[in-house]
Structure formats: C-alpha cells, structure tokens
Amino acid sequence: MSNKVHLGHTARKRFGQNFLTDEGVISSIVGAISPDNDHVMVEIGPGLGALTEPVADIIDNLTVVELDRDLVERLKAHPILKDKLTIHQGDALQFDFTQLAQDGKKMKVFGNLPYNISTPLMFHLFEFAEQIETMHFMLQKEVVLRLSASPGCKAYGRLTVMAQYYCQVVPVLEVPPGCFTPPPKVDSAVVRLLPYEQKPWPCKDVTVMRHLCTTAFNMRRKTLRNNLKGMLDDDDFAALGIDSTLRPEQISVEQYVAMANLFIDKSTAN
C-alpha cells in the first residue's frame, strides 16, 4: 500500500482521500469560494481541514459532511474548528441538503471531492440547485472539461447538458497532482457552478429531460433520430427545427430542453 500518512492519518483510497497540501492553491480556492456569513457555508469531505480551516477563519459557522468516522472524530477534537463546525457524519450522496436551508439564506457549497463519486454527487446536488448560490469543486480535470464543454466537443455529453441546464459553469484553476498528498494519478481542476435564479430554458419535467439525455447519449456515434426512436419521430424533429441526422453531441442544451418538453406534451396529450 502506498497510501501516505499525512498529519498522522493514513489516506484511505476507498474514500478518495487525496489531501490538498499546496498553500497557494488552497488560498486561491478559498478566494474563489468567497466565504461569508450571509450564506449557509457547506463543505463536502473536509478531510484533514485543508480548506475547512482557512474558510472557518473567515466566518462564524461552517457545516461539513464527512463520511470517514476517524476524520469526523479528529474534527470534533480540533481545538479551533470544533466550536465553529456543524458536523454531519455520513454519505454526501444520501444527504438531504434542504435540512441546512435557513430563512432567506442560500447555501455556498464547496469541496475537494472524492473523484469516484463526483458525477453522481453533481447530479444529487443539482436537485438542490434552487437553494444554492454557488458551488466550487475540485474535480478530475476531465470532469471539469465535460462540465464546461460546448456542443460539438468530444467532452460534451449527458453531464454537460444537465450541468448547464441548472448552472452557469466556469472553470477556475488547474491543479497538478503534486499539490496533494498522496498525489492522484490524474490532473485536477477547480470549477465554479452558479445555479440559475431563472433557468434560461425551463423544462416541464426534469426527470424526463434526464431520461432523454441518457437515451440520446447512449450511443454517441449514432444519430439523434436513431437514439431517440420511440420518443420522437420525424414530424417532431421537423416541428422543433432540429436536424435528426446530427449526433447527440451536436445538440445544444436549449434543444435538449425543447425535445424533452415536446415529448412531455405528447405523453400528456395521449
């Protein structure tokens, strides 16, 4: 096992533990998060506190969700942090973030996320997008490229469409493996997700939109017409003005919403 010991803690691979150790990167991320007392500040996976300590320095209260019981015990015993933290031990994927909402205060959520759960966690957090002001996450660089991709790019896919449906996506910073202990095998990057107050293209039922995107991107090399057979026909594509011979990665978020809304209308009319 090559899992390095940092501050007396052996990094657990199964919890995706790569601890941030580069002070310059840490302060850039804290600057990007812009912590304040006007929002409910929430960190996912505080670990040994690399981001937790400098953020808690600036504000009165910080809520954290951490899966690793040993790390939770360390945080509870931390001489400075223990008075400022509200600690939830558990899986962020199962966590109901609405319980953190306070009257009139939206959340600012951040974290250096375990890479093995980052995509499902994004999807989980999108469900709470209306209560979130900003999200800042350290992710695999490849995932940040997918989140921020434009139609026509190789990285453009289901995650892109769903993320850009809910949020404006802004890549913030690239972070090489040497900034972590132990270093991950891949490059990382920080992304800022800004949930829309008013969605530019609202969908009547986001579950349908998710299903349609999954179906459309099932076979990336096939045409839209082929992948969405059974959901939309030639007349539907014509009514929407969408060329059904295009591949799924050539279709904009707005067009995915239009397709989902038409499918919903058709289903409710029957």
Annotated binding-site positions for S-adenosyl-L-methionine: 18, 20, 45, 66, 91, 112
Residue pointed to by tokens 């509200």: 86
From CA 254, how far away is CA 266, in angstroms rounded? 18
Shortest Cβ 19–ligand SAM spacing (Å) = 4
List CB contacts of 81: < 8 A, sequence separation 6 or more.
49, 52, 53, 56, 75
Give whole-number Cα distances, 226 to 218, 245, 254, 257, in Å: 10, 8, 20, 18
Pick 68 or 249: Cβ nearer ligand SAM = 68
What is the C-alpha end-to-end distance of the chain, expressed in Å? 59
Buried b (16+ CB within 10 A) or exposed e, 86-114: ebbeeebeebebeebeeeeebbbbbbbbb
Q: Which of 33, 56, 92, 122 binds ligand SAM (CB under 6 A)?
A: 92
Shortest Cβ 251–ligand SAM spacing (Å) = 32
Tokens of 145: 């490229």
**Does residue 65 touch ligand SAM according to CB under 6 A?**
yes
**Does residue 151 touch ligand SAM according to CB under 6 A?**
no
Tokens of 259: 């397709």
Q: Which of 33, 100, 117, 193 binds ligand SAM (CB under 6 A)?
A: 117
**Does residue 50 touch ligand SAM according to CB under 6 A?**
yes
**Does residue 68 touch ligand SAM according to CB under 6 A?**
yes
Shortest Cβ 38–ligand SAM spacing (Å) = 23
Cβ-closest position to ligand SAM? 45
**Does residue 51 touch ligand SAM according to CB under 6 A?**
yes
Chain residues binding ligand SAM by CB under 6 A are 15-20, 44-48, 50-51, 65-68, 71, 91-93, 112, 114, 117
